[in-house]
Structure 1
Amino acid sequence: MHFETGLLNPNTFILGDLKTTFFPDLEQIKEAAKTLEGVAALTPLMPSLNYSRKFDANVMLKREDLQQVRSYKIRGAFNKINSLTEEERAKGIVCASAGNHAQGVAFACAKLKINGTIFMPSPTPKQKIEQVEMFGGEYAKIVLTGDTFDDAYKASKIECDALGKIFVHPFDDEKIIEGQATVGLEIIEQSKEEIDYVFVPVGGGGLASGLSTVFHLLSPNTKIIGVEPEGAPSMSTSIFNKENTTLSLIEKFVDGAAVQRVGERTFAICKEYLEKMVTVPEGKVCQTILDLYNKEAIVVEPAGALTLSVLDQFADEIKGKNVVCIVSGSNNDITRTAEIKERALLYRGLKHYFIIRFPQRAGALREFLNEILGPEDDITFFEYKKKTSREDGPAVVGIELKDRKDLQPLIDRMKSRNFFGEYLNDKPDLFEFLI
């Protein structure tokens, strides 16, 4: 799904009672780069042989996953907190985060010796929580609340307002945007040739707005493509609607890029400077995670795989071009590996779930195994239900195929021998209930 960005005038919009016209200034971005010296790593811009060959292009990876906190978020968080006055530092800070911003804030709090309270959604992977605790030490207090970033955000604002603390927004803040913009400065300085395309992941829009501003000012011919997960297209929807739009429901799997509403400042900048917003299915993201691990020895989180996942959609456009993909983070919990593999198989059409109705007679299961399944089909899930009739008994069966083209012949054999009950992959409500 593509949304073209119009050249709309974003100069005035409302934030509460505040009118703002913020666009990052190049001098402020360069000042942020100085602030981050010795704090944020100068991450490499690495050529990818595999992706360059696949797309007949010069594909380079900006490895923000190699930051000390394993994501670019350290840039904005430290730049913001370092800008606070002594009086503001004494009050302490509050933030909300799905994980990566929290680590950047925790690191900054410990380095600057400022007390911080960090609100995170309850489903945040344990690995990210432990990293926040490690980076923040005695200066970071973690509060788990709600199901999404937006739930954590609301809770953090209540505490912030009640106690008069300083709120460090994960994306909709001038200093945050200026800090994230330093990624763009580095790419331009590191590249030996003019860059044709930059693919940037979009959650709340802090990185995309900062980076796109730098290229607008220093390399205006470069096309900046924003990439969101298909299940959380908040920036895509907002640009399409020509107004910042809150999504009522989002898919939270790509937790580092899943928000219900993007920032007001970031929306205004992105709708002006991004060439396009595109989305990519979560299953495709999972396949990219596995490919990066197996072929590039790179560990990424779901948000970190977004930009490489979308290159297929631009295969014709980027041929022969210089392309940069932002690998935004590597905070992936190893306990999610099984889910990642499952989602990838479902996306590729290799994993299928059925309700199978086994005839209530001896040898029915052996018949199914020997005569219904193909020679390379593999049963990966089997849950037999209590017999409900004399004629047949249902079982939920998961089958992994070697080739997606084997699905229809399998279904045909089931139906011809009266085993077929329901195909579950295209019934999401029933699928989620049973699997």
Structure 2
Amino acid sequence: MTPAARLQATLDLSSAVENDARPADAVTAAWVRTRRHLDDRDKGAILERLHALLRHRARLGWWLVRHGQEDDPRKRLLAWLTLGEGRTPVEVARLFAGAKGAPAALTDGEGALLAALKGCTIVHPAMPDAMRLECPPWAIEPLRRRFGAAFEAEMAALLTPPPLDLRVNPIQTTREAVLAELKGLGLPAEPTKLSPDGVRLPERVALARLPGLKTGAIEIQDEGSQLVASLVDARPGERVVDFCAGAGGKTLAIAARMRNKGHVVACDVNEARLKRCAERLRAAGLHNAETRLLAGETDRWVKRHKGGFDRVLVDAPCSGTGTWRRNPDARWRAPEDEGLAGLVALQGRILASAARLVRPGGRLVYATCSLLPEENEQQVAAFLAAHPAFAVVPLREAAPQLTTSAHPDHLSLTPARHDTDGFFAAVLRREGPPEPVAED
């Protein structure tokens, strides 16, 4: 593709993301599948520019409004080429020439915009903090309270492109073998620092270059997510529930640690996600897991299996603030219809219901990919106050090798401190009998 054709493709994809209710990663995946004629370099350049537009959306929009322009995908792309890539108005005009396959020619207003932006940087002293830090207004004060003096450093880390983390499937191979294979392909792979099953590539690569993804030998999974799964500490022969399994990333990690012995139940309220989970389990050669579709957090299946499991993971639906560097569009999606308070209430109901499944002496792990205390430490404290049969298992006992957590008792990972997505996990143990269960 020519540089101009890449720009038109970026504009097409950006418009598709803008007008689709699905997350950007789902839209881009569908877009790529229908354009198999593009080579890896073209796809990489297009996706890299798209993610740059998403990461800097608020600041680009501020500049457009400042100069009386409509905040739309085309104008944001023009502003990014000037403010982010440092192109001159003449260079941009050559690319927007209206030739076949290229973006339409610049209007007089767009030419005036480029002239006004010439020599400017993407950050301006007059920008409000929410714009400058690319932080939605509903989250800025909770995050400021969470991080204090480190707030701006953490926000800056959330604006950096993430590495590509892989989890090795020990049923099929070893980390050493995967590292050797990737280096043989010319990829600068290295072991992750915290997860014993992880491999890191410093930059994203074309997934077609990773043959292990097709065979189930490796899975794409952030190092922080791998650590959450390891805190479940599922042993061969045990009975385990992944209560909010989704597409099964953590389910696969748990089942593999059990070496195909014992039983894992992957639960979710979304049938399509569970179908994907089942497919991934088969591809990975894992036969000790099943999927279970629930009608809701108080599904009768939970009552029937009260106290029947050694380990229960609640990877709760959350604001996703910890994933903003990987899913930059997520920061502009409000958390649920009822806001953060409604989301916190839902998490509390899910955790209380899933806790019924844990046997005396069993382990309950509550996790989110959020950086907000309301969804994390405060949620755990409220649960413990209402459920005295449970007690915290301090991180030094649950995972003594994890010594760099931002919290003394729970796993707390942040992009700036750990170079992972933001994750939280609390390990709890049932020390008393299950509470009586009322009719649902």
TM over 0.5: no
The answer to which structure, 1 or 2, has the higher relative contact order (CA under 8 A, 6+ apart) is 1
TM superposition score normalised by structure 1: 0.29
